[in-house]
Structure 1
Amino acid sequence: MSTPLPGVATDEDGLRNGIHIFTAVLLMVAVASSFQMALIDAAINLILIAAFAAVYFLGSIPVDSWPDGKKQAWIVLLTALWIGEMVVSPVGIYLVFTLFFVYLQVLDELRGVISVVFAASVAVIMQIPNGLTFGGIMGPAVSAVISLAVYYAYRSIQRISSEREQLINQLMDTRAQLAQSEHDQGVIAERQRLAHEIHDTVAQGLSSIQLLLHAAEREVRDTNNAHARDNALERIDQARRAASENLAEARAMIAALTPDSLSRHSLKAALERMADSFGQAGELSIEVDIDGEVRELPMPVEAALLRIAQGAVGNVVKHAEASRCRITVTYEEDEVRLDVVDNGRGFDLQSVRTRRAEMGHVGVEAMRRRAEERGGQLTMESQPGGPTAVSAVLPTPVEGFD
């Protein structure tokens, strides 16, 4: 018997149960025919019917696990009992319906069809002694054709059902893979965002503290200079305040991912505080200018401007060797522009574009991503030996805040 297709075991059992019920009805009709026979013939008829019923019902349960030889022996025994029943009672011919389905289910396709043709031919031949009629020929022939049609229609339904189930499983797997992919992309994006947050807050703050402590260390070494000691104490105090501010930034980032300075001050004030901290750490003059009509911006836009300014000024302090830096915020009708310009040594823009954003080199990429996340863009102008200008333009909503 062919192996049941995946997902259709219930349908297979339904077909078998239907055949079992149909066979039981035919057997009861055959038993009823015994009332019209002589005693001996009736006894033989009942014995054959009981034997056929026992062989059929007891064998139909474990037949799937039997080897081919045992299956064929079971079919031969059922066929022999059926022929014997036809010899005793003409009603036994109707059991050919059961044999048709048994052949098709237990044997392979070719042998099953051959066995159906054989059983139909035997049913016709057994009628010859009593006189063969047109109905006697057409009955088994039409029954065989109907049985084949029903069986193959059922198998087609099974195949379609199996293919549909496989398709549904594939769609479910694809949906699960897409969901996992979206989750992974979300995790990656969140990691990048947190990396940028940490770079622009904790990393920049720690860098400022490091610069302040290095300066204090140099001045403390000159123990004979009271002014140097006073400067060292001032540097240490600045480092303490920078550490306090960065601790507040870190706590705010963890709690709400909103810059702590913006939650308590305006954008201009937050920029001035940041400029003062970086200016003292890098020993340079940083000015903050505002152009245009100042207006309240959505918190995400102000946060992006502050973080971009922190990144740009942090690079000035660490790399530019500049003495002056200017931060300008320009308010226009439908956008806001941030410019950070320094008089440092400059750099080769092409080397920055081709350098990968690896650990310790995420500053420029972080600023660019922040601008793009708000629908804006970031541009840089610089050359070795010359000044550097960083410009970020972000759109601002005309009505309401996003």
Structure 2
Amino acid sequence: MSPPTPGAGPAGDLPLTPVSNTTRILRFLRISLHVLVAVLLAVGMVNAGGKIVALLLAASFALLYLAGTVYHNRGGRYSPAHAIAWLVGITALWVFMTLASPSFAWLEFPLVILASYLLPVPASLLAAALILCFTLSITGPASGVGGLVGPTIGTGIAVLIFHSYTALRREAEHYKQLAADLEAAQLELAAAERAAGVAAERARLSREVHDTIAQGLSSIVLLGRALDKQLDRPGDARETLDIIRHTAADNLTQARRIVAGVSGAHEPLTQRIDALARSAEQRQRALGTPLRVTVNAADLPGPAADVAERVVREALSNIVRHAHATEAVITVDVLGDQATIDVYDDGVGIGTREGFGLTGLRARVEEAGGALTVEGNVLAATIPV
């Protein structure tokens, strides 16, 4: 029976140097113990002088020791009573072997280590003392002072080796637990990052869909209702139908951009805002309320221009659907390292409760490092350039 190898299992496979180094040391000590037993047993059998009884006892000792060791190393677990019985068995065989041939006395050292491993500390110290006393009774009278000092020092070293082994094993188990905790923390962090990434992507797609497709579909619904009222006026109905087709085509373009992961159009911001203003005027006219949109816009670099376009698009969508306005003014300017976007209308203004569109727009502006304010009939945003 041999001490178990700490550091095994999934956590022990983590690339932590303290665990791997300590495990190698423990494995070396365990193998060294078995090698020491085999060497001392072989030396004793050679020096037994052909005594049949001693050789048979040595063979029995080897078989019992090997059986217990193999069983344990293959994952078997002894109860404390069975482990002590195994220790008593090989110790009894060693006693009879030594009585038959004193050359087996040096097996005392590995037996002391095994006793220290299998028994509680007080019992192990008592067992080591008894084993030492028996060894001295065999070797002392024939060998003089050397026969007394050698086994005594050897027994002390054996006890010291065991306690060093125990300290190393405790350290290996400590690092093994640290490795397991680290692995669990890494898995938990990865899961949290995945969840956060999924939530962020869902929020981004929600804003993209609302700012493009949802607004366009809402306009189409409103225009469709206006078209029902214009069926007796073919000219107006034709114009409204053209606006519906244009809005649907723009929605299709925006949907393709979302699928392709393209953040914005390639045209300058001034052209994009002007196109949004003319489209808003057409939709409002088709709904029966003329709207004039004035644009005073400066060009902005790519990322800032995309955010500015979203601000203007959301503001115009709210004006067309809710404001009942006749005048609107869009102003985009650059002041130092800040771009300002202001959209004013003469309609009913925005209520105190913000809807999904303004909430998503505020998040988009803040992600760009800017700020969004809504006061009555004015929607304003600042974005770093």
**Do they superpose with TM above 0.5?**
yes
SS at structure 2 position matched to 1:4: coil
Distance change in 2, residues 1:153/1:391 (3 Å): same
Residue 383 of structure 2 is matched in structure 1 by 394
In the alignment, is the contact (CA less than 8 A) between 1:8 and 1:161 conserved in 2?
no
Alpha-carbon deviation of 1:125?
Answer: 3.4
Within the candidate set 63, 69, 72, 1:60 is matched to 69
Within the candidate set 157, 160, 166, 1:149 is matched to 160
**Which stretches in structure 1 are left out of the alignment for 5+ residues?**
353-360, 383-387, 397-402
Alpha-carbon displacement from aligned partner over 1:282-302 (angstroms, at most 9, x marks no partner): 3342423226xx45x322211
In the alignment, is the contact (CA less than 8 A) between 2:116 and 2:162 conserved in 1?
yes
**Amino acid across the alignment from 2:201:** E
Is 1:113 equivalent to 2:113 in the alignment? no
Residue 208 of structure 1 is matched in structure 2 by 219
Is 1:96 equivalent to 2:108 in the alignment? yes
Alpha-carbon displacement from aligned partner over 1:155-214 (angstroms, at most 9, x marks no partner): 211121121122123223222322332222222112111111111111111111112111
**Paired-residue identity, %:** 31
Alpha-carbon deviation of 1:271?
Answer: 1.2
Is 1:342 equivalent to 2:342 in the alignment? no
Alpha-carbon deviation of 1:132?
Answer: 8.1
Q: Distance in 2 between the 1:127 and 1:157 partners?
A: 33
Alpha-carbon displacement from aligned partner over 1:370-400 (angstroms, at most 9, x marks no partner): 2222222111111xxxxx101111121xxxx
Alpha-carbon displacement from aligned partner over 1:251-303 (angstroms, at most 9, x marks no partner): 122223333xx32x322221121112222223342423226xx45x3222111
Residue 230 of structure 1 is matched in structure 2 by 235
Alpha-carbon displacement from aligned partner over 1:67-125 (angstroms, at most 9, x marks no partner): 44443333223222222233233322211112112223333444333322221122223
In the alignment, is the contact (CA less than 8 A) between 2:273 and 2:295 conserved in 1?
no
**Amino acid across the alignment from 1:7:** G
Alpha-carbon deviation of 1:133?
Answer: 4.4
SS at structure 1 position matched to 2:329: strand
Q: Distance in 1 between the 2:192 and 2:148 partners?
A: 66
Q: TM-score, normalised to structure 2's length? A: 0.85
Deviates more, 1:176-185 or 1:201-210: 176-185
Within the candidate set 249, 260, 263, 1:258 is matched to 263
Is 1:369 equivalent to 2:378 in the alignment? no
**Amino acid across the alignment from 1:257:** V
In the alignment, is the contact (CA less than 8 A) between 1:308 and 1:370 conserved in 2?
no
Alpha-carbon deviation of 1:5?
Answer: 6.3
Q: How many residues align?
A: 364
SS at structure 2 position matched to 1:61: helix
**Amino acid across the alignment from 2:32:** G
Deviates more, 1:242-251 or 1:42-51: 42-51
Residue 289 of structure 1 is matched in structure 2 by 295
SS at structure 1 position matched to 2:331: strand
Deviates more, 1:62-71 or 1:302-311: 62-71
Distance change in 2, residues 1:56/1:251 (3 Å): closer
Residue 385 of structure 1 is matched in structure 2 by none
Q: TM-score, normalised to structure 1's length? A: 0.82
Q: Distance in 2 between the 1:198 and 1:59 partners?
A: 70
In the alignment, is the contact (CA less than 8 A) between 2:112 and 2:128 conserved in 1?
yes
Residue 323 of structure 1 is matched in structure 2 by 326
Distance change in 2, residues 1:204/1:372 (3 Å): same
Residue 358 of structure 1 is matched in structure 2 by none
